[in-house]
Structure 1
Amino acid sequence: MNLDFSNDEKEFRKSIRQWMKENVPDDIRRCTARGAMLDKNMQQRWERLLGSQGWLTSTWPEQFGGPGWSATQRYIFDQERASAGAPPTSPFGVAMVGPVLYTFGSEAQKERWLPGIQRGETLWCQGYSEPNAGSDLASLKTRATRNGDHYLVNGQKIWTTQAHWADMMFCLVRTDSTVKQQQGISFLLIDMKTPGLEVRPIYSIDGHHHLNEVYFSDVKVPVENLVGQEGMGWTIAKFLLTHERTTIAGVADIHYEINRLKSAIDALPTETDKQLAVRRLAGLEVDLMALEYTNFRTVAATDEGKPFGPESSGLKIKGTELQQRVSQAMVEIGGLMSLPWDNEEPIGEQIFNQASRRYNFLRACTIYGGSNEIQKNVLAKMLLGL
């Protein structure tokens, strides 16, 4: 594995850095800097800006509308995006359902749905978890019954991020209860404006509304919105979750947070505080380096044409644990400056503003995308044969 960037890759980095400097909107940059979440308008405005450059779908193959970047270029782009204080994009369209559609979808589905994702015009959400089907996703109960040219969907989903923003949902449903659980699941695309579909808000521990419950009561879904064939849902879900877990690691954004913490050390009140902060950040940087080298191996394998493997579970485990540790360090190093919960203006250093809110939100990151305990089982099975 060669860790040196080529001259072309260095020039690519310069061009991305310059574009970010000139084009990231000031209000979005400020929102990211104070640790706040983007509202729907900001999120869609940012994604449409990237879409206008052909960069929103940076991970897609060129034949499906991606920019034709290598895995290394995508890695550089994400580094520069985070370093510029620009937010990540919503993963549901770009990193999840998009790859599903160009891999498993019909030509008609690709033509209908991919352009809206590429341009940042269509917002998606994920209908997977249910009240009694989280880590044990195969036990889901939401049912889709075939009735001529459509399905009738009944059931409930929960923890559905951005369902209140979304135009469309990709949803796992049970189409057959007579076979093994995994074999009876199908993958449907559902218009969020369909009669019988109800979205109810869930306010999480950080005080934000980004999660929802979604109820289906005889929701009519055209048969042409079935991706693949009936019973293929579990195969598609495993493919999608591999992509999701790789992006959840968040290496570039961890870099950004640690660098911001380093820049705030001089503002701490005593020399003891500063020395303790330096020691703590050194430990976090060592762990980030280990995570980054694992990410490099994934990038190198992808550039060689190899598919994602169980390393996506390893990235997810270590990346989310490190995100939690960095958020905890931010609260503890910031001390009283980290206490404000919803201030527009910081008390003290800006980096510590809303640090407690972010700490609370990231308690969930080791659970969503497949809990870390389950990911350890995946690694034990795939790598150790246990």
Structure 2
Amino acid sequence: MLILPMAPIDPRTVILLAAVMSGLMALVLYSLKRNFPASIKGLSEWAGALLVLLLGALLVAGRGRLPDFLSTSISSFMLWSGLYLAYVGTQRFLGVPSRSLPWIVLITVALLAQIWFTSVAPSYHMRLIVTTVMMAGLSGAHAWLIFRRGSITSSRALAIGVLLFLFAAQIMRLVTSFSESFPADAEFFDPTAMQLVYITSFAFGALLFSISMVLMATDQLRIELQHLANHDSLTNALTRRHMDDACRAELERCRRHGRSMALLMMDLDNFKAVNDTYGHQAGDRVLIDFVTRIKALLREPDQLGRFGGEEFMALLPETSLEEAIHVAERIRELFAEASDKPHCTVSIGITTNQKDTDTVDTLLARADAALYRAKANGRNRVESA
């Protein structure tokens, strides 16, 4: 049987394939930008970064056919610029202020060095040193940025892993360039296994990182949709559905461990008069201010939800009736003593879990009955049941 030798892998082909994949992923990110909420930042920069890398890769693939200034100096500049633009996109995505000047200066200096070692004092080794140091610095800084900002999700872990892989590959490439086996007349497209490994590692590393960008964006979209589903769009208080689920879970925990929980029903007194006198926009501001001030009084485990209209509920885990009354009085006094206009006082009804047979509905019924008594007895009061 005749066995034909395998053709060697052409580095230009690898680079061109990487360019095509970068272009496709740029289209994906641009599509996400058009369809995702405007609150998800950085997608434009990520898409732009991949387009810059695409153009840089095309220039690299033309090395030997295009002028050295384009295929060597400008291609390196576009490579660094693409990596930096991706870094800026991640800064915007994570809400980190961008300090562009140091990076712009560094990239400009590196470009001048590349031009020098291309046209004035040609040296592939010196160009390699400049390129690997820049790529390692950008990859390492990018990985550190993602690591130190927010929780590490699977998509962020992938991004960090890819960036650290690129960082390690460039450091290894830099170290091996000083070995005795490194040819003095080496060139970028030398058909060596090590050179092909470095080119391929960056090509597929860029592809994997673009995939991690898409995954991070979709993770953020899921978080935002979940937030919208669980929070009132006006006041940012939790929705009644979420509060019902939270009360049900807390009741079950109290049954298992013999603990106490409290439920507060709160209603803004004479809120209709605010709308009638000052307008609905002023009424909306009163509701928003009400939620903001109460959140500042509650503990981290406590949950505040909007029950409907100007009626709110607060779930206080690990809270006795006496403690709940103290919290309710602090809330009532805060709004009773407010001097800003317009504002409303607040009536509050309180209940706690009393029997193992208590359900969310029975808790709500008792708290609502206590709230009704507070309103009937003159408003701006706290009653318990």
Give TM-score, length-normalised by structure 2. Answer: 0.21
Question: 1 or 2, which has the higher strand percentage?
Answer: 1
Task: Compare CA radii of gyration and give the structure with the larger one.
Answer: 2
The structure that is helix-richer by fraction is 2
Q: Which has the higher relative contact order, 1 or 2, with Cα contacts under 8 A spaced 6 or more apart?
A: 1
TM norm structure 1: 0.21
